[in-house]
Amino acid sequence: MKTPLIDNLQYCNWSREIFEQMRAGGVDAVHVTIVYHESFREMVLQLEAWNRWFETCGDLILRGTTAADVERAMAEGKTAIFFGFQNPSPIEDDIGLIEICHQLGVRFMQLTYNNQSLLATGCYEDDDTGLTRFGKQVVAEMNRVGMVVDMSHSADRSTLEAIDQSTRPIAITHANPAWWHKALRNKSDEVLQALTQAGGMLGFSVYPHHLAGGPDCTLASFCDMVAEAARRYGAQSLGIGTDLCQNQPDSVVEWMRVGRWSKVIDYGEGSASNAGFPPMPHWFRDNRDFGNIRAGLITAGLSESEVAGIMGGNWYRFYSENFGPDA
């Protein structure tokens, strides 16, 4: 089997055009965010919308729940879509909803989105108290059913505790190393060492706020960073999680940032003068541009097999080991 091309984080304003771009770009699987601050019932509405996409665009995409669905997508010339939450709000305060969400196809859940949650501390809080009592139970239940703990928006202590508490590898689906670009959302070397030593995966983001130089970041700088990460953590622990938010109106970034938790705007990674979605770097505009990253990684000195792993083979292996019940 050819190694699949997998992007492990997108949250676009979905359309047939974007699915066509996935096909044009040869993207075999995408992990899509389906909710930020939504309740369980609101999350179900998003699943319903996805069911309609699978009905109306079934020639381009299919619903993915296992690694075998990536193979099926490749065989049928389609893109497999996997679901994830960026915030645990859909499980409310009910541990039983984890298995329900897994039965509905959800495969990744962040324990926090920037703020303190019922489970752990987000990366924008002043104090990080680690996993809560409920959080520890949730990690165990996620391990049991095969839902991946994602700490992309969590604070360091919480992340380290999740790595330690989890009996299965966890993921940071979309972030970059802080040693390349210091940002609240990027991750310390300590966190990335612990993550990868426990078998976990890091997905590199091309969201401009996570890039050295922002939208002006060069492909070479990005790819040199990946090559350095491969030296530090091993290429087999690395993948892509672009955080592509194509065609989203700025109202969506506001929903991401403040949901219903604040009456005043919080600019998150942006600022009052740069409040909306930032422009993407010219070398990654949409799903048709993964070839640029692939070529850049070769130029940066990574081997063909390392690059194939980073571009999707590693996520594929991770999917095959972590989306089913604990053995």
* Shortest Å, Cβ 100 to a second copy: 6
- Give the DSSP H/E element, type plus range, for residue 295: helix 290-299
Q: Give the whole-angstrom CA distance, residue 150 versus residue 322.
A: 12
Of 2, 16, 52, 182, the residue at the interface with a second copy (CB under 8 A) is 52
Cβ atoms of 238 and 173 within 8 Å: the answer is: no
* Shortest Å, Cβ 261 to a second copy: 22
- Give the DSSP H/E element, type plus range, for residue 153: none
Return the structure tokens found at 151: 């700490």
Question: Which amino acid does the sequence have at 232?
Answer: R
Q: Which is nearer to a second copy, 42 or 190 (CB)?
A: 42
The contact mask relative to a second copy for 71-110 (x = CB under 8 A, - = no) is -----------------------x-xx-xx--xxx-----
Q: Is 13 exposed, middle or buried (0-12, 13-18, 19+ CB in 10 A)?
A: exposed
Q: Give the whole-angstrom CA distance, residue 26 versus residue 173.
A: 20
Taking CB under 8 A as the rule, does residue 263 contact a second copy? Answer: no
Q: Give the whole-angstrom CA distance, residue 155 versus residue 43.
A: 25
Taking CB under 8 A as the rule, does residue 51 contact a second copy? Answer: yes
Taking CB under 8 A as the rule, does residue 68 contact a second copy? Answer: no
The contact mask relative to a second copy for 2-41 (x = CB under 8 A, - = no) is --------------------------------------xx
SS3 letters across 24-44: HCCCCEEEEEEECCCCHHHHH
Q: Which is nearer to a second copy, 53 or 267 (CB)?
A: 53
Q: Which is nearer to a second copy, 204 or 323 (CB)?
A: 323
How many chain residues touch a second copy (CB under 8 A)?
17
Closest CA to 201 of 232, 238, 166: 238
* Shortest Å, Cβ 112 to a second copy: 23
* Shortest Å, Cβ 326 to a second copy: 12
Q: Which is nearer to a second copy, 24 or 68 (CB)?
A: 68
DSSP letter, residue 17? H
Q: Is 20 exposed, middle or buried (0-12, 13-18, 19+ CB in 10 A)?
A: middle
Taking CB under 8 A as the rule, does residue 212 contact a second copy? Answer: no
Return the structure tokens found at 125: 């809080």
Taking CB under 8 A as the rule, does residue 118 contact a second copy? Answer: no
Taking CB under 8 A as the rule, does residue 45 contact a second copy? Answer: yes
* Shortest Å, Cβ 119 to a second copy: 18
Q: Which is nearer to a second copy, 91 or 217 (CB)?
A: 91
Q: Which is nearer to a second copy, 83 or 316 (CB)?
A: 83
* Shortest Å, Cβ 49 to a second copy: 8
Q: Give the whole-angstrom CA distance, residue 308 versus residue 310.
A: 6
Q: Give the whole-angstrom CA distance, residue 188 versus residue 180.
A: 10
Return the structure tokens found at 46: 């998003």
**What does the binding site for a second copy look like in residue numbers (CB under 8 A)?**
40-41, 44-45, 47-49, 51-52, 94, 96-97, 99-100, 103-105
